[in-house]
Amino acid sequence: MPAVREANKTELSRLGSSKALYALTAGEMEPDAVLTAMADDHAAAAETYEGWAAADDAADLFGAAAEAEQDAYDTVAGELDAHEPGEAPDLYAAMGSAETGIERLGAFVGRTLVAKAHRSQATGFFTGQADPGTASTFRGLGSDLEDHLADAVDALDALADDDDDWELAEAAANEVIGAAYEDYFSTLEGMGVNPKPVC
């Protein structure tokens, strides 16, 4: 959905910055903190998509996505000595407001774009930590997310009856990205960090 990427160019750019990782880890920026943040997101995604797969027009897509996110969670959490999923990131509350298949596919696109931005930063972080194995893991997860985007657009092509449906999907995607950005912005401000890049 190029329109979603374009409409949220600034937000997605900042969500793919090192400051986003700083916000996600509450300033810890240590390997376990990064792994924990990523694992929490995968756990929340798996739970959300599993619920959507139970009763939705795009049940097959959401069911497959739930399995993929659970596998991703197992992989990332496996890098930790122990992990219990924590509180879901704020964007999942926005996802919960999506009620129709069209809206949920849009929300799915929004979350996937945010997750891709975060996985890119995780890849860079572990590269900087001289941990190529974990960096490769996150690079692969980012590639998987790109495939999910393509699947979502295909599903929207099949389900959307008209431009109004596409606008609903785009609005849902924008809302999810907006929720993630608001969380990023407010978290950094609360930590006394300027959320905007310093030029």
The predicted-structure confidence for 107-158, as pLDDT tens digits, reads as follows 999 999 999 999 999 999 999 999 999 999 999 999 999 899 999 999 999 9
Domain spans of the chain, in order of start: 2-19+31-190
- Alpha helix segments (H runs only) across 16-100: 18-24, 31-53, 59-77, 91-95
Report DSSP letters for 123-187, one per residue. Answer: HHHHHHTT-HHHHHHHHHHHHHHHHHHHHHHHHHHHH--SHHHHHHHHHHHHHHHHHHHHHHHHH
Judge contact between 22 and 121, C-beta under 8 A. Answer: no
Q: What pTM value is reported for the model?
A: 0.94
Q: Name the pLDDT band for 199 (thresholds 50, 70, 90).
A: very low
The yes/no answer on whether domain 2-19+31-190 falls in CATH 1.20.910 is yes
